[in-house]
Amino acid sequence: MRQMSLTPELVALCHREEADPGPDGSWTQLNDDDFRSLAQRLSGEADEGPLWVFAYGSLIWKPAFDSVEQQRASAHGWHRSFCL
The Cα 59–Cα 65 span in angstroms is 9
- 36 found inside a domain: yes
What dihedral angle (degrees, nearest 10) is formed by the CA atoms of 14, 15, 16, 19? 130
Residue 63 lies in a domain: yes
pTM, rounded to two decimals: 0.41
Tell me, yes or no, whether 47 lies in a domain: yes
Asked if the structure places residue 34 within a domain, the reply is yes
Domain span at residue 57 reads 29-70
pLDDT at 83: 67
Amino acid 40: pLDDT: 92
Q: What mean pLDDT value characterizes the chain?
A: 83
Residue 12 within a domain: no
Q: In the predicted model, what is the mean pLDDT of residues 28-46?
A: 90
Q: How confident is the model at residue 36 (pLDDT cuts 50, 70, 90)?
A: very high
The total of structural domains in the chain comes to: 1
